Amino acid sequence: MATCIGQTVFLKGTLSASEDIRIAGRVEGQIHLHEHVLTVQPTGELMAGILARSVIVEGAVRGDITAGQNIALQNTSSVTGKMAAPRIAISEGADFNGRVETSLPRG
């Protein structure tokens, strides 16, 4: 079960949690969910640097996204900034402007 930040909520500052978070509102600042999943819902608007295990974007993000496992941009998403993760998926229809960095395991 994820905690949801509702559509009418505006947060400014640093958001950190030890659980999955779903954001439908607006957040400005930094988001730290080292071992958890961040989902930006279609109504979500983030102007934030993001660090999480996994990030799913359905809304808008302006800022860098770093994920330990994966980043997924859905067809309703709009992202401006650098994305860094071992696996990145960008759905057809997603709006992305920025840079992608992936690292592959060495074997």
Residue 72 domain flag: yes
| pLDDT digits 0-9 by tens, 30-88 | 999 989 999 999 999 999 999 999 999 999 999 999 999 999 999 999 999 999 999 99
Q: Considering the domain boundaries, does residue 86 fall inside one?
A: yes
User: What is the per-residue pLDDT for 107?
Assistant: 44
Q: Is residue 33 part of a domain?
A: yes
In a domain, residue 60? The reply is: yes
Q: Is 98 exposed, middle or buried (0-12, 13-18, 19+ CB in 10 A)?
A: middle
73-100 pLDDT, tens digit each: 999 999 999 999 999 999 999 999 999 9
Q: Is residue 82 part of a domain?
A: yes
Q: Is 62 helix (H, G, I), strand (E, B) or coil?
A: strand
pTM here is: 0.93
> Would residue 56 count as lying in a domain?
yes
Residue 105, in any domain of the structure? no
Structural domain includes residue 67: yes
Number of domains forming the structure of the chain: 1
Domain of 81?
3-94
Listed in sequence order, the residues at least 6 apart from 19 whose beta carbon sits closer than 8 Å to its beta carbon are 2, 3, 36
